[in-house]
């Protein structure tokens, strides 16, 4: 059974290798062309940017819903994962409908003299859509890491005189690195395989270029070569994650919490944080409904 599954998984790669071999010596011209290099750089740039942007969104939300006295934490933990059910092309279409030229937001602002909003197409639009749709991957792994983290290390840091923020940066965040790496891998793979958002936003990554090449040419060997480059890029991302995961014991220490984790009191930040979650849920509701 395992051999059958492996054969089915390797069959598309075998087909790509067969079609790419038909290119002959021209395969090197395709691989080292300026167009391939440009598409590769744009794809890597988008994947790295979305991964970092997703981490910047996910880590504060995970920390607020696990380690603070935020009201209705369990409800927010569920609602913040809703973007996972939204296909990227649907999200991109809705963002264009709201924020794009002649979109809903521009119609609302037109009486105030706003004739045209900044262009959403290209990298800014693709980055915004993919970040808001894929950050729950990092959120779920980070929340799991926070809930499984040994609170003794944080308690020791607090006893040594470090405040909540100093403890977070010096103790908590380093222990989250394996979880962040796992979530970052999922986000990077999500971006590499995405076709809907980049097509709506007219940003040329490998998936969009492959589709255009495949549809507009009778000779599809060039598309096969580009597909192999995308597979190699994916394998490179997987190797980075495996290397990071191999150091998990160094960053995480002993897994398994002893006692309840420390709960941080938000104080005067409690209501601004709650307002942020209300606004977030309003945005998600406008996308999913």
Tokens 């969009």, located at residue: 208
| Residue 50 CA neighbour count, 13 Å, CB half | 33
Pick from 211, 57, 227, 205: nearest CA to 142: 57
Judged by DSSP in three states, 68 sits in strand
The pLDDT, as a whole number, for residue 119 is: 78
Determine contact, residues 130/89, Cβ cutoff 8 Å: no
Q: How far is CA 148 from CA 34, 65, 115, 198, 258, in A?
A: 47, 14, 51, 36, 9
The pLDDT, as a whole number, for residue 256 is: 47
Mean pLDDT of the chain: 79
Q: 247 or 168, which is more confident?
A: 168
Q: Is the pLDDT of residue 230 over 90?
A: no
CATH 1.10.3720.10 is held by the domain 2-288: yes
Q: Is the pLDDT of residue 5 over 90?
A: no
Report pTM: 0.82
What is the token pair recorded at 61?
A: 């939300």
CA 219, 220, 224: angle at the middle one, nearest 5? 150
Look up residue 251 and give its DSSP letter: H
What tens digit of pLDDT does each residue of 79-129 get?
Answer: 888 888 888 888 888 888 877 777 777 777 777 777 777 778 899 999 999
What is the token pair recorded at 216?
A: 């507009």
Query: What residues does each domain of the chain span?
Result: 2-288
Over the range 207-222, which residues count as b (16 or more CB within 10 Å of their CB) and which as e? bbbbeebeeeeeebbb
What tens digit of pLDDT does each residue of 160-205 get?
Answer: 777 777 777 778 878 888 889 889 999 999 999 999 999 999 999 9
What tens digit of pLDDT does each residue of 47-72 get?
Answer: 999 999 999 999 988 888 887 777 77
The pLDDT, as a whole number, for residue 65 is: 84
The pLDDT, as a whole number, for residue 282 is: 63
């Amino acid at each position: 059974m395992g051999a059958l599954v492996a054969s089915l998984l390797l069959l598309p790669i075998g087909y790509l290798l067969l079609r790419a071999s038909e290119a002959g010596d021209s395969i090197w011209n395709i691989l080292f062309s300026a167009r391939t290099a440009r598409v590769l750089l744009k794809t890597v740039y988008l994947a790295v940017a979305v991964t970092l942007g997703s981490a910047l969104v996910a880590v504060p939300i995970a920390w607020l819903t696990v380690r603070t006295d935020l009201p209705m934490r369990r409800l927010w933990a569920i609602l913040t994962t809703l973007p996972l059910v939204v296909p990227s092309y649907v999200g991109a279409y809705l963002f264009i409908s709201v924020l794009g030229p002649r979109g809903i937001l521009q119609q609302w602002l037109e009486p105030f003299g706003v004739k045209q909003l900044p262009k959403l197409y290209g990298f800014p639009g693709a980055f915004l859509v993919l970040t808001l749709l894929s950050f729950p991957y990092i959120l779920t792994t980070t929340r799991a890491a926070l809930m499984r983290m040994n609170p003794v290390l944080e308690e020791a840091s607090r006893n040594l005189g470090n405040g909540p923020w100093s403890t977070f940066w010096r103790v908590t965040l380093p222990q989250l690195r394996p979880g962040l790496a796992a979530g970052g891998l999922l986000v990077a793979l999500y971006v590499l395989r995405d076709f809907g958002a980049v097509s709506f936003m007219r940003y040329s990554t490998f998936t969009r270029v492959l589709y255009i090449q495949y549809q507009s040419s009778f000779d599809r060997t060039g598309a096969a070569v580009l597909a192999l480059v995308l597979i190699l890029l994916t394998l490179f991302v997987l190797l980075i994650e495996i290397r990071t995961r191999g150091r998990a014991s160094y960053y995480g220490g002993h897994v398994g919490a002893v006692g309840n984790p420390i709960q941080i009191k938000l104080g005067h930040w409690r209501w601004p944080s709650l307002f942020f979650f209300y606004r977030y849920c309003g945005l998600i509701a406008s996308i999913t409904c």
